Structure 1
Amino acid sequence: MNPPVRAGFIGGGFMAAVHTRAARAARGHLAALAGSTPERGREAADRLGVERCEPDAEALAAAADLDVVHVCSPNRFHTAHALAALAAGTHVICEKPLATTVADAERLVRAARESGRVAAVPFVYRYHPMARQARNLVADGQLGTVLTLDACYLQDWMLDPDDTDWRADTASGGASRAFADIGSHLCDLVEFVSGQRVHRLAARTRTVFTRRGGTEVANEDVVALLVELGNGALGTLLVSQLAPGRKNSLTLELHGTRRSVRFEQERPEELWIGSRHGSRQLLRDPGTDAPDSARVSPLPAGHPLGYQDAFTAFVTDVYDAVRGGEPEGMPTFADGLRAARLTEAVLASAGAGGVWTDTAPATEEPT
């Protein structure tokens, strides 16, 4: 058997908990953790079952006994922490957004390419088996030509003016909040499932509460988009963190010349497939699903999988790549750069009153 991948973690909050659970399930060795302070790092390491605490992120990034560093720190630190780990010769999983600017995302893509290390971003909704099953239906032509799409990502955790978080501070979270945080996931899934890039978009944003918890807020709560895919398909996307009762509602519906397909992240075991003469539900079954769907489907039909399982499948793929494998569909820093470019386009379009903005990728990596 291959020895366990030795993993280090920068950060000790919610996402670090998700990453450590996934790393443990992927048979990684949870070697080290660094928090925002040594005290918080020690508490998080104990709570998450990580072997030791490093005094700070710089010490962890430079540790000689790590194979991969999981960057789970606030957005503004992603570039520095990921660059430090790559410079030390370590593979990197960096939380999204990969960076808060396109220039920094380009730096990270270059650094990853020059280092020869695996560099991945957890666009984990790709790893729901039924999202991959939908992708297979599109690729096999079972939908016909995709004509339109309707997609949304809705949450309610910032619904009240007293709801606040470091992401609402542009210095820590970046110029975009709702789109960079969850809209990037939605666009990644649109492009992954449809097999088409967003070539143009027109965006409107809204900051409903300009102050939260006594602090001024500049980044957005809500984003509405019109998009045009590379094949001419038109679509609407709605992203909101102020949708009462919606906790993590990512939905993607594609309409083709023959059939439609709908995936809902909060109902991840099924697809809705529509046709002119009837509709049906397709339930996850690795015994009959497409090979790429079955590959990330570790439990038999009737044993529900969810978000943590998707995250574990993603980390398992990254660790396979660390060992020299080439897992299909693994999101890399190039995908993180793509998200940064779309975020920049959304802000530019909204800032100009919702004008159509070109997002057709000339290349996915900077020269």
Structure 2
Amino acid sequence: MSDIAKIRAAVIGTGFIGTVHVQALRRLGVDVRGVLGSSPERGRERAREMSVPRAFDTLDDLLADENIDVVHVTTPNHAHYPQVKSILAAGKHVICEKPLAMTSAESAEMVDLAKASGKIAAVCYNIRFYPLNQQAQGMVMAGDLGDIRFVTGHYHQDWLAKPTDWNWRLESEMGGALRSVGDIGTHWVDLTSFVTGLKATSVFAELTTFLPERQKPLGPVETFTSGTGETETARIDTDDAAMILIRYENGARAVMSTSQVNMGRKNSLQWDIAGTNASAAWDSETPDHLFIGHRDAPNQTLMRDFTLMNGPGIAAATLPPGHVEGFADSFFNFFRAVYADVIAGGRQQGSTWATFEDGHYEMQFCDAVVKSASESRWVDLSEI
């Protein structure tokens, strides 16, 4: 039996993303021992559908199981803070979906608890693990782009573009004060910070809610699906879209937008990073191609080909060239990296998965965005 097959995991949350976690863990060879649903009945139903051997009735039942080594948290955002605290207190490793918490005050405490526990504590910023994002980070670290000057991009989707579209993320009590920024914008912020090595010092933000009222189904609705049956009118106080200006610590600048109401944009995260020597750009909807721009030479498009990539890119690649690696593969690559550190007993040199410190930075960014939008001014992250 391989070392990774000896690790036993449980997943909290049985919706869309919880299912993705279970599938990626199985592909990796991890022993998925059980799941915890939003109710015992829901958990048992989803465990049967996913062929998982056990559905836990409560979090206490899960944490009391000495056969569980790692717990994956894929629940709505408001549950992350109390669940992660309990998991770490039980002496188990944790992988938490983003955003890490509801506020930076919560995430700061989670950072301290993770450090004190000595356990692996990762945030699920899986988009880092598309191989060409690892390639781009290696290029920046090697100086191929020169000093970073200007970063642009967006994360746009359309799954909440209609007044009849509904999901728990629309409710600030469950998802937090920010929606498009907190749900998908944090992915962009984390990814560009990872690739460039830069963190924001201040932000200027405008938030927009284009649909102040929506039709909320009276029954449950899965993520990325439409509800059926009776509805009620609900007021919306979270952002459909955002525009954000960013200042970085080295003097670089950025402009980014988020939207969950852009028709035809299913899952488009794009970044374009301009340096003094070259530029690079990537789009999540064409993930196996990396644009590399030059002033005095022909521009290039690098395909995900491990015979042409640098060390970080090769390490993250799984499939042969021309066999596209997509969304599910990014989770496989991410979990493979985290579980290697679980086996090693700690984060190893060269590990590139997002830590709780990274997750806390994204929460500081979000809190600064809220403050900036409400006060119509630049807000330093040091104010948070």
Distance (whole Å) between structure 2 residues aligned to residue 170 and residue 62 of structure 1:
32
Distance (whole Å) between structure 2 residues aligned to residue 206 and residue 38 of structure 1:
38
Q: 5+ unaligned residues in a row in structure 1: which ranges?
A: 363-367
Whether 1:14 aligns to 2:16 is yes
**Match in the other structure for 2:369:** 346
Whether 1:215 aligns to 2:234 is yes
Whether 1:275 aligns to 2:294 is yes
- 8 Å contact 1:130–1:293 — kept in the other structure? yes
For 2:81, give the aligned amino acid.
Answer: T
Task: Give the secondary-structure state (helix, strand or coil) at the position aligned to 2:181.
Answer: helix
For 1:336, give the aligned amino acid.
Answer: G
For 1:301, give the aligned amino acid.
Answer: P
After TM superposition, give the deviation of residue 287 of structure 1 in Å. Answer: 2.0
Whether 1:290 aligns to 2:321 is no
**Match in the other structure for 2:354:** 331
For 2:261, give the aligned amino acid.
Answer: L
Task: Give the secondary-structure state (helix, strand or coil) at the position aligned to 1:66.
Answer: coil
Task: Give the secondary-structure state (helix, strand or coil) at the position aligned to 2:145.
Answer: coil
- TM-score normalised per structure 1: 0.95
For 1:285, give the aligned amino acid.
Answer: D
Runs of 4+ in structure 1 off by over 6 angstroms are none
After TM superposition, give the deviation of residue 224 of structure 1 in Å. Answer: 0.4
After TM superposition, give the deviation of residue 61 of structure 1 in Å. Answer: 2.9
After TM superposition, give the deviation of residue 281 of structure 1 in Å. Answer: 0.8
**Match in the other structure for 1:365:** none
For 2:244, give the aligned amino acid.
Answer: L
Of residues 44, 48, 51, the one that matches 1:49 is 51
- Map Cα deviations across residues 95-133 of structure 1 (whole Å, 9 max, x no partner): 111110111111211111111111111111110110111
Task: Give the secondary-structure state (helix, strand or coil) at the position aligned to 1:281.
Answer: strand
After TM superposition, give the deviation of residue 288 of structure 1 in Å. Answer: 2.5
Distance (whole Å) between structure 1 residues aligned to residue 383 and residue 311 of structure 2:
29
Deviates more, 1:281-290 or 1:117-126: 281-290
Paired residues in the alignment total 361
**Match in the other structure for 1:166:** 168
After TM superposition, give the deviation of residue 360 of structure 1 in Å. Answer: 5.9
- 1:161-240 equivalences in 2 (<5 Å): 161-213=163-215, 214-240=233-259
**Match in the other structure for 1:356:** 378
Task: Give the secondary-structure state (helix, strand or coil) at the position aligned to 1:45.
Answer: helix
- 1:298-309 equivalences in 2 (<5 Å): 298-309=318-329
**Match in the other structure for 1:23:** 25
After TM superposition, give the deviation of residue 361 of structure 1 in Å. Answer: 10
Distance (whole Å) between structure 1 residues aligned to residue 46 and residue 74 of structure 2:
12
Task: Give the secondary-structure state (helix, strand or coil) at the position aligned to 1:323.
Answer: helix
- 1:17-166 equivalences in 2 (<5 Å): 17-166=19-168
Task: Give the secondary-structure state (helix, strand or coil) at the position aligned to 2:68.
Answer: coil
- Map Cα deviations across residues 324-355 of structure 1 (whole Å, 9 max, x no partner): 252511111111111111000000000111x1
For 2:327, give the aligned amino acid.
Answer: Y
Q: 5+ unaligned residues in a row in structure 2: which ranges?
A: 216-232
- Identity within the alignment, %: 37
For 2:363, give the aligned amino acid.
Answer: A
For 1:349, give the aligned amino acid.
Answer: S
Distance (whole Å) between structure 2 residues aligned to residue 361 and residue 267 of structure 1:
38
Instruction: Give the RMSD, CA atoms, in angstroms.
Output: 1.5
- 8 Å contact 2:240–2:261 — kept in the other structure? yes
- Map Cα deviations across residues 39-95 of structure 1 (whole Å, 9 max, x no partner): 100011111221101112332233221000011111111111111111111100111
Distance (whole Å) between structure 2 residues aligned to residue 260 and residue 228 of structure 1:
19
For 1:343, give the aligned amino acid.
Answer: C
